[in-house]
Chains A and B, each alone.
Chain A
Amino acid sequence: MIPEIGQFSLIIAFFLSLTMAIYPIVGSLLNKKELLLYARPMAIGQFFFIMISFFSLAISFLLSDFTVSYVTYNSNTSLPFFYKFSAIWGGHEGSLLLWLTILSVWTLLVSLFTKKLPERYISLVLGVLGIISSSLLIFTLLTSNPFERLLLPVSDGNDLNPLLQDPAMVMHPPILYIGYVGFSVPFAFAVAALLDGKLEKGWASWMTPWTVASWVFLTLGITLGSWWAYYELGWGGWWFWDPVENASFMPWLAGTALIHSLQVTKTRGLFKSWTILLAILAFSLSLLGTFLVRSGILISVHAFATDPQRGIFILALLSLISGGALFLYAFRARTIKDEGSFDLVSRESFLLINNILLIVSVLVILIGTLYPLFLDALGMGKISVGPPYFNLVFIIPMIPLSLFLGIGMHASWKKTSLSKLINKLSLLVLLSIIFGYLILDFTFGVSNFLTLIGFILGLWIILSSISKPAEYIFSNKLKISNFTNKLWGMTVSHFGMGIFIIGVTITSTYSIETDRSARVGDSWDVGIYSFTFDDLRSVSGPNYEAQEAAISVFNGNNLITQLLPQKRIYSVQQSPMTEADIDNRLARDIFVALGEPLGDGSWSLRVQIKPLIRFIWLGAIIMALGGLISISRSLSESVRNKYD
């Protein structure tokens, strides 16, 4: 009964979203005010029925209803409660339902928190969101119904993929999706502005908090995924340039460009059509990501069973939504007029450089990700592009980006005197270079030029960020009370970026990675640490059996820790899985993973020392925090307005 309720609600939601898509758009084209009024109630109704549908699936999972095919394939009676819930998004159908649920929440929020905006414009925004939502709903209902019943019921399920039975994996998909799907809101704002024709004056300011909020979630989602891959996949890497990772990273880069370009549009009334194009691009890349991940054309932990029909359907959706928006853009872009001008040396120029470099890096990643698929589709051979390509082509735009970032923060709008800028920053540049060199030389030793550059640039961004509020504190003319949340947000985010760059630079240069064979009683050294293989024993968990090694780590004669890496066999799927153990400090991680038995009582082991790897995730979290600070004012204001 419950699955039928879920499916029926999904059908109702489809009709509501279709109404939400058609009525406001037709209403605004024919100038019929009464049709516009349908948008908000439909958004609420759609939210209500999608929620019923989502919770129906949740209940089916929690009750282990194995008459539902999707539950059977992704759950098991012995699965811990926690993972039964997260198994909802353990496969294709449930992930789509999660996507839709999140879209309905965003749509609801837009309809609730925009009461002060022009009715016609917001109705169009909701209409565009309705187009997206109704097309994905029909896709789900026709090709990927999560409520499909099995003809022959089974006694127990297939279990959730053991790799996904992990706390970070409970959080990663929803948070990532909140970000991914959230870009539909700036997309809708942009397309509505184009549809509206007269481009309401405030659209850039209205769009900003939604864009930044989505960006914050996307940042956190990607960070969680990277952290999970690091400890769970058993390889000790934190980024693999896997096509699916790229699929989430490209919208992030485009979203970052959009946030910066929005500042120019908002403050100076410039870059208008470029901002609109970026909003379209960011969501199109999110949709492309969904297509890449869900169509099963990629070899990846994220790709579920292959089904070409779904792939073609998503491709059609992509061309409809993005193609439609781009067509509209081409048609209307001429009517968008910028107000005013700017000098060569001005904040506008630096933000323009930021945008160009970010979009160039999106392009080179897009080439590396799509070109192999393209060749394959044409039957011209199967190729892949390895991490060396991405590392190289990504670092190149990032070097000038980091350099200009530090300068741009201190440039003023419209026109800045070059000599003043040089006066202000030359000391910081000098400090970054001297301290960068000395610190690196003192700690890890300067071993190659690129590492030195990376370290200096990281330090430069940190110093340049800190000097921004410092200037307000120590200056006679400026007051720190005038340092707005927006400025704090910028400072904190950029500071996080500096931390991130230092983390990446140091980890990728000074990590020690070894594979070795060892048996109980063996001792060996890696870097400055000594390891002893103390014991090997059998342990059992709720739904797995494991071999666990006990390995002591010494620094000289001091015992630092005992690591307990495991090799697990999950009882249902009978597949082995490596559970690495990590001793993490801010300064370094010691990573040990247990490989396989080698025949004579010895095991293969992977032992790695990773200096400053925590800086990578820490930096990303600080960036997200900065985003949150920058919109904290508009968040609290909109909540206040709502209850006034």
Chain B
Amino acid sequence: MTPSRKQRLFLVLFLVTGVIASVTFALKAFQNNMLFFFSPSQVYAGEAPESRVFRLGGMVVEESIKREAGSLTVSFIVTDYANSIPVLYTGVLPDLFAEGQGVVARGQLSDDLFIAAEVLAKHDENYMPPEVAEALRISREAQK
């Protein structure tokens, strides 16, 4: 093998190892950071994991937003009109969060309460998060 070929081989080996290592790492990181989405009915049926972060989506039930005056902690109920899950959140809520509107929350189940670390509402008054729209459609069809 000529020296220049040896060098070329070295470079190729170096690159291949690098690429394989990064892809393996990426897939591992992907698995660890994957967030599943569940509708209230799926959570009710016990499909959602107990001690893992996931996303819950549905509509905020009318007159369900409650907070102690002056406190940043707020509770509300998320429904897909078949089942409902109570949610607890501490922090500043997004602008378009309101009763009767679609919402997606990221957090964890604790007993029957969903503790949200982040609450997302839509960006536009006419816009519904597609996951929520889908969850509502499924629960509507199940009730028929």
Contact = CB atoms under 8 A, between A and B. Distances in A.
Contact of B70 (A384, A397, A599): A599
B64 interface: no
B70 A306 contact: no
A576 B123 CA distance: 11
Interface size class of chain A, counting residues whose CB lies under 8 Å from the partner chain: 35 or more
B33 interface: yes
Contacts of B90: 515
Interface in B23-55: 23, 25-27, 29-30, 32-37, 55
A405 to B, nearest CB: 16
Interface centre among A382, A383, A397 (most CB of B within 10 A): A382
A367 interface: yes
Interface in A194-214: none
B72 A598 contact: yes
A577 B124 CA distance: 11
Nearest to B102: A299
Interface size class of chain B, counting residues whose CB lies under 8 Å from the partner chain: 35 or more
Interface stretch (B10-18, B76-84, B107-115): B10-18
A44 B96 CA distance: 46
B95 A397 contact: no
A515 B91 CA distance: 6
Contacts of B68: 599
B33 A385 contact: yes
B143 interface: no
A523 interface: no
A408 B63 CA distance: 63
A605 B93 CA distance: 10
Contact of A360 (B19, B29, B72, B122): B19
A167 interface: no
B124 A301 contact: yes
B34 A383 contact: yes
B77 to A, nearest CB: 18
A163 interface: yes
B142 interface: no
A339 interface: no
A305 B131 contact: no
B118 to A, nearest CB: 9
Contacts, number: 131
Given A344-B10, A383-B36, A297 B130 contact: yes
Contacts of A384: 34-35, 37, 55
A517 B33 contact: no
Given A595-B92, A600-B70, A299 B131 contact: yes
A578 B121 CA distance: 14
A464 B78 CA distance: 55
B42 to A, nearest CB: 10
A397 B131 contact: no
Given A393-B26, A396-B25, A573-B125, A605 B70 contact: no
* Dominant secondary structure at the A interface: mixed
A423 to B, nearest CB: 21
A349 interface: yes
Interface string A355-396: 010001001100110010000000001111110110011001
Nearest to B36: A383
B96 A305 contact: no
A517 B15 contact: no
A335 interface: no
B29 A392 contact: yes
Nearest to B92: A595
Contacts of A598: 67, 69-72
A602 interface: yes
A479 interface: no
Given A515-B91, A515-B92, A598-B72, A382 B29 contact: no
A57 B92 CA distance: 40
B72 to A, nearest CB: 5
B72 A604 contact: yes
B72 A515 contact: yes
A264 interface: no
Contacts of B23: 360, 363-364
Contacts of A386: 33, 35, 106
B70 A517 contact: yes
A344 B92 contact: no
A360 B22 contact: yes
A382 B135 CA distance: 11
Contacts of B8: 344
A149 interface: no
Contacts of B131: 299, 382
A602 B8 CA distance: 68
A575 B96 contact: yes
B61 to A, nearest CB: 18
Interface in B84-104: 90-96, 104
A388 B33 contact: yes
B96 A596 contact: no
Contacts of A360: 18-19, 22-23
A383 B35 CA distance: 5
A596 B25 contact: no
B69 A596 contact: no
A265 B93 CA distance: 52
16 contacts: A163-B124, A299-B122, A360-B22, A364-B22, A367-B30, A386-B35, A392-B29, A393-B30, A515-B72, A515-B91, A515-B92, A575-B96, A596-B92, A596-B93, A602-B69, A606-B92
Given A299-B130, A382-B37, A386-B106, 9 more contacts: A297-B130, A341-B4, A363-B23, A388-B33, A389-B32, A575-B95, A576-B95, A593-B92, A598-B69
Ordered nearest first, which 4 A-B pairs have the shortest CB separation? A599-B69, A389-B33, A600-B69, A382-B37
